[in-house]
Structure 1
Amino acid sequence: MFGAEVRSIEWKYINMTEQEEDIICRMHKLVGDKWALIAGRIPGRTAEEIERFWLMRNSDVFKGKTIEQKRRQDA
């Protein structure tokens, strides 16, 4: 698993709606890292996307990187 996290630095930024982000945050508080359960509440999203989004949003390693990637995508 650690190897996957190291490679994850190259992940693309995942755009989520405010509603999706809200669901993810609330569900994470309730059930923790049960990504499949959380993804089941968001149509069209996979457990892997939810986990990747959560890690990128909450990890210090990704914070600066994701901001820069989002700026590039918006440009």
Structure 2
Amino acid sequence: MADSEHSSSDETSFDSSEESSKKTEHEFSEDEETLIIRMYNLVGERWSLIAGRIPGRTAEEIEKYWNSRYSTSE
């Protein structure tokens, strides 16, 4: 009985950590957002250059974030 309780708690903690990693993938901190805006104003759409300044973020993540947040359809 103790083994089954232990394994179910392991699965629960794995699921919650998996969900939190997906959540942080799309959420940017205020500092990250500020840096992205400042870098964009300096270098434009050079996403890999911007991503190089933010540990753990890819150019694709930053571009998707920018386009979803600041894209203008004219």
TM over 0.5: yes
- Supply the AA of the counterpart residue of 1:55: N
Q: Residue 28 of structure 2 corresponds to which residue in structure 1?
A: 16
User: Given the two structures, how large is their TM-score scaled by the length of structure 2?
Assistant: 0.62
Q: Which runs of 4+ in 1 moved over 3 A?
A: none
Do the aligned partners of residues 60 and 33 (structure 1) sit closer, same or farther apart at CA in structure 2, a change above 3 Å counting?
A: closer
| Structure 2: unaligned runs, 5 residues or longer | 1-22
The CA deviation at 1:24 is 0.2
Q: Give the greater-gyration-radius structure (CA).
A: 2
Q: Deviations over 1:6-64 (max 9, x none)?
A: xxxxxx98200000000000000000000000000000000000000000001257xxx
In structure 2, C-alpha distance between the alignment counterparts of 1:33 and 1:55, rounded to whole Å = 10
Percent identity of paired positions between Structure 1 and Structure 2: 58
- In the alignment, is residue 33 of structure 1 matched against residue 33 of structure 2? no
| Structure 1: unaligned runs, 5 residues or longer | 1-11, 62-75
* Higher RCO (CA-CA < 8 Å; seq separation 6+): 1
User: Given the two structures, how large is their TM-score scaled by the length of structure 1?
Assistant: 0.61
Aligned length: 50
